[in-house]
Every structure is written in C-alpha cells, then in structure tokens.
Amino acid sequence: MTEQKVAVVTGASSGIGAATARGLAAAGFRVVLAARRGDRIEALAKEVGGVARVLDVTDRAAVDAFAASLDRVDVLVNNAGGALGAESVEESDPADWLAMYQVNVLGVLHVTQALLPALRASGDGTVLVLSSTAGFIAYEGGGGYVAAKHGTHALAATLRLELCGEPIRVIEIAPGMVRTEGFAVTRFRGDEQKAAAVYAGVAEPLTAEDVADTVVWAVTRPSHVNVDLLVVRPRAQAAQHKVHRESTPNE
C-alpha cells in the first residue's frame, strides 16, 4: 500500500490557503495546515482530515520546530503573505514595508529552507510559491507590496535554478485580482468601503477556489512536468492597469 503523501500549506486559515487545503485533501493528500489563527485551522483540519499547526512564518525558531515535528513532506505550498497600506512611496510607513517583506519574502525563505531536507528525502518533492502579478508590474500605491512580491518571484526563480537536477520541482503561481474574505480589508486597515472599491464594477474577480484549483492542478502534474510560472487573472483583467468595470445602478 502506498503511503499517503503530505502537503504543507502556510497561511491556511482563510482565503486561498484554506481553499488550497480543501483542494489538496480532496486530491488525496494528508494536509498539514499552518497559520497563526489556531481556532480556524483546527476547524478546517477536522473538516479535511488534516493536521493543524499554529505557526508564524516570520519566526524562524518556530518554523524550525515546526519542521522538526513533521515525519514526511512531499509538497510545500508557500501561501502566507499579504499587503499593508496603499500609500505612495513618499508617504508610506517603512514599518509596513518591513512587515510585508518579512512575511512575503523571509517567511517563504524560512519555511522553504526548513522543509527542503524533507522534500528532498521524499524523492519527488514540490515547492509551490504563491506570488502575485505585483511581482512583475508596479502600480501606484503598491510600492511596498510590489517590492516584496518582486522578492518572492526572485526567490522562486533562483531556487529553481539551484535545485535543477534534484528531485524537487519549484512552481510559482501568480494571481491577479482575487476577491477573498480578508486581503483588501487587511490592506486598508479594516476599511470595508475602500476594500470593496477595489472590486467595484468587476463582474467576476477570481475567487480563492479559482486559485486553489490552479495550485492543485500544478502539483498533481506528472513528476517530470514543472509548471515554472502560471499567471491567473479574471477575464475582466487583461493586465495590471486594464480592468473592465461595468456600470453600477448608482453611477
């Protein structure tokens, strides 16, 4: 009997991470859900038959302890991340930039470094990095997030070069406009109106489940197939600066 493969998903308490955990469990993986909000991942772990582990990816000691507690890892989904603020470069708070760099870049680095030995030992490992189209194209008000996601993209691309010849794939998925329960609200520090304005008039932004589908598809390709980079946007978003918005009744 073949032993069940194990997938670790960071930032699994909500949004894309939670949807990915559900998708991977449905695909037959034993999912380890890692996130800061223990109550949420405990409930989701029971739902999908997985394991919940409270984890702050920016805490290297905690990440190392987390890695040491795992017997097997076949897939790592680096999903934890986020944006803070939409101020101009001139007016932005360096503390926000630091926080975004820590979670979007160093968080990926910490978890990947800690789990590479287990991924290598699996004989057929996959590292998947959730980046963003912000990792390729700048936009006003996004300086800190854009800089961080450029770092995420560079990390994934470099790791793929360095692991060439080893039994580990490195996949990057870069979503465009995705409407999840908390991303924009967190970015705008709880301002629901500003968060809603991001998606105003857009008929169908991507959902967390849309992105999770691409994650599951990518990691379940045959072992010799590496999806280096997959950009996924809603049909209404042709590019970072080109979004079709329909008129609303109040306009």
What average pLDDT does the segment 120-126 reach? 98
pLDDT tens digits for range 149-206: 999 999 999 999 999 999 999 999 999 999 987 787 788 877 788 878 888 999 999 9
From residue 128, how far is each of 48, 56, 112, 138, 201 by CA, in Å?
A: 20, 18, 10, 23, 32
Any idea which residues carry the catalytic annotation? Answer: 145
Give the model confidence (pLDDT) of 35-58 as tens digits. 999 999 999 999 999 999 999 999
Q: Are strands 237-239 and 242-243 parallel, antiparallel or unpaired?
A: antiparallel
Which element (helix H / strand E) includes 160?
A: helix 143-162
* pLDDT value of position 240: 86
Rounded Cα distance between 87 and 81, Å, is 19
C-alpha to C-alpha distance for 76 and 121, rounded to whole angstroms: 13
Reported pTM: 0.94
In angstroms, the Cα distances linking 184 to 81, 204, 249 are: 12, 16, 23
CA-only gyration radius of the chain, Å: 18
Mean pLDDT of 229-237: 97
> Under DSSP, is residue 30 helix (H, G, I), strand (E, B) or coil?
strand
Q: How far is CA 52 from CA 115, 129, 193, 215, in A?
A: 17, 20, 33, 20
Q: How far is CA 38 from the centre of its chain?
A: 18
